[in-house]
Structure 1
Amino acid sequence: MKHLSLILCFLITTSLFSQTSTQYKTPTKQQLDSLKTELETIFMKDQTFRRIYIEAEEKLGKDSEAYEYFWKVVESQDKILENEVTGIIDKYGWLGISQIGRLANTTLWSVLQHGSVASKEKYAPLLKTSALKQESQPIHYARLIDRMLINSNKAQLYGTQINYDNEEPTFFEIKQPELVDKRRKEIGLNSIKEYAKSRKVEWNVTQEK
Structure 2
Amino acid sequence: MRKFYVFILIYVLFGISFSKAQSEVYLHLIKTADSLFYFKEYKKSTYAYTWAFRVNNYRSTLNDRYKAGRAWSQYGVPDSAYFHLLKIAEQGNFIDYDRVIADEAFKPIQNDPRWVKFTNAVKQNHQRAEANLDQTLKAQLDTIHDNLLHWHAKLDSVKRKHPKDSIKIAEITKTVSYKDSLYKEIVTDLWKAIGWIGPNVVGKKARDAQFYVLKFASLYTQKKYYPLFKKAVKDDFATLEQMAIIEDIMALKQGKKQIYGTQLAYDNKGNYYLQPIESQTKTNQLRAEIGLIPLEEYLKDYGID
Q: Same fold (TM over 0.5)?
A: yes
Q: Is the 8 A contact 2:244 2:260 kept in 1?
A: yes
Q: CA RMSD in A?
A: 3.3
Verify: 1:89 aligned to 2:191, yes or no: yes
Verify: 1:63 aligned to 2:172, yes or no: no
Structure with the higher helix share, 1 or 2: 2
Counterpart residue identity of residue 296, structure 2: A
Show structure 1 runs of 4+ deviating over 4 A. 54-61, 166-170
- Relative to structure 1, the CA distance from residue 46 to residue 170 in structure 2 (aligned partners, 3 Å threshold; closer, same or farther) is closer
After superposition, residues 69-84 of structure 1 pair within 5 angstroms as 69-84=171-186
After superposition, residues 34-45 of structure 1 pair within 5 angstroms as 34-45=136-147
Shift of 1:191: 4.9
Shift of 1:60: 11
Unaligned stretches of 5+ residues in structure 1:
1-14, 16-28, 203-209
- Relative to structure 1, the CA distance from residue 136 to residue 54 in structure 2 (aligned partners, 3 Å threshold; closer, same or farther) is closer
Structure 2 Cα separation of the partners of residues 143 and 183 of structure 1: 13
Verify: 1:190 aligned to 2:291, yes or no: yes
Structure 2 Cα separation of the partners of residues 42 and 169 of structure 1: 27
Q: Deviations over 1:1-21 (max 9, x none)?
A: xxxxxxxxxxxxxx9xxxxxx
Verify: 1:105 aligned to 2:200, yes or no: no
Structure 2 Cα separation of the partners of residues 136 and 105 of structure 1: 7
Structure 2 counterpart SS, 1:52:
helix
Shift of 1:88: 0.9
Q: 2:276 aligns with which of 173, 196, 199?
A: 173
Shift of 1:81: 0.8
Verify: 1:115 aligned to 2:217, yes or no: yes
Q: TM-score, normalised by structure 1?
A: 0.67
Shift of 1:144: 1.1
**Matched-pair identity in %:** 23
Count of residues in Structure 1 that have an aligned counterpart in Structure 2: 171
Q: Deviations over 1:179-201 (max 9, x none)?
A: 33454456xx22552x4314315
Structure 1 Cα separation of the partners of residues 189 and 287 of structure 2: 30
Q: TM-score, normalised by structure 2?
A: 0.48
Q: 1:128 aligns with which of 205, 221, 230?
A: 230
Shift of 1:168: 8.3
Q: Is the 8 A contact 1:180 1:192 kept in 2?
A: no
Structure 2 Cα separation of the partners of residues 163 and 50 of structure 1: 14
Tell me which structure has the larger Cα radius of gyration: 2
Verify: 1:199 aligned to 2:299, yes or no: yes
